Amino acid sequence: MTKNKKQPQTLSSVKNALLILKSFTTFEPTKKVSELAESLNLAKSTVSRLLSTLASEGFVIKDQKTNAYRLGISVLTLGGIVTNNLEIHKESAPVLYKLVNDTGETAHLAILDGLDTIYIHKEECHHPVRILTHVGRRNPSYCTSSGKVLLAFSEGDIVEDVIKQGLVSYTENSITDPDLLRQELCTIREKGYAVSTEELTEGTKSVAAPIRDYKGKVVSAITVVGPIQRMKEYKIPDVAKKVMEAGKEASERMGYDEKYFRRF
């Protein structure tokens, strides 16, 4: 009986500890107890206790001068294990590298996580510019080319769930009309690729194509992104062709046989 009574509290502590870890971002790499307590609506004593536990296991590190916390090496270790054991990552890495050489722009591998996209691999080009993309970055799916590809070929009610959540405008080019989004996703399915021009970040353009597994299901998106100064409109058809070819190669590495699925 005692164990059953303690279980909900234990699960709550685990959930709160995970919420603390997920609160750290590229833009907010350090957090203080008071900041976490306020943003998560938790007592300072609770946050302090959980941070101490996380610190003892190397998941966070405390700066003794500022009393602020940052993520520790244990998080990096777990992230590396996850990435290295993702089949899509292992099979697509060489394709991504080749795509960078073919296009001269930075390439990414993205997957859907809930209603957002997350970059799980990034291959930098030889002349990078400051573009806010990095492995682990979470973006709204309807504002990026990779996200739109994943939505276009998604199953179930994901698209409608994204719409229900709200189409927030990040730039003047962001799609905020549900009907326009549905129409664009239909076009993406027909063309086989997606383009995003300054929909999330001003000054950038990206092109993405799907990657399928052996069952024919779209499990990831391969994308190239660069500054609009280099990604001129007249270049997009050629870039799209190269991205789709890369997506096809990655799909074949995942066991996808296009000829087989054409028979059905």
Instruction: Give the domain ranges of the chain.
Output: 2-74, 86-262
CA distance 64 to 12: 28
96 or 261: which leads in pLDDT: 96
Tell me what the mean pLDDT of segment 92-118 comes to: 89
- Asked if 74 and 67 count as a contact pair (C-beta separation under 8 A), the reply is no
207 or 111: which leads in pLDDT: 207
Report domain 86-262's class. alpha beta
pLDDT category at 181 given cuts 50, 70, 90 is very high
pLDDT category at 2 given cuts 50, 70, 90 is very low
Highest mean pLDDT among 1-15, 94-108, 114-128: 94-108
Predicted TM-score (pTM) of this structure? 0.70
Q: What is the mean pLDDT of the chain?
A: 85
Tell me what the mean pLDDT of segment 55-70 comes to: 89
Summarised one tens digit per residue, pLDDT across range 195-215 is 999 999 899 999 999 999 888
CATH of 2-74, one of 3.40.50.300, 1.10.10.10, 1.10.3720.10, 3.90.1330.10: 1.10.10.10
Q: Name the residue among 100, 116, 233 with its Cα closest to residue 108.
A: 100
pLDDT category at 261 given cuts 50, 70, 90 is low
H or E element at residue 91:
helix 87-103
Which residues, other chains included, contact 159 with Cβ-Cβ below 8 Å and sequence gap of 6+? 151, 181, 182, 185
pLDDT category at 161 given cuts 50, 70, 90 is very high
Predicted local confidence at residue 22, as pLDDT: 84
Q: Please determine, for residue 7, whether its predicted confidence score (pLDDT) is greater than 60.
A: no
Tell me what the mean pLDDT of segment 89-106 comes to: 86
Q: Please determine, for residue 129, whether its predicted confidence score (pLDDT) is greater than 70.
A: no
Q: Please determine, for residue 183, whether its predicted confidence score (pLDDT) is greater than 90.
A: yes
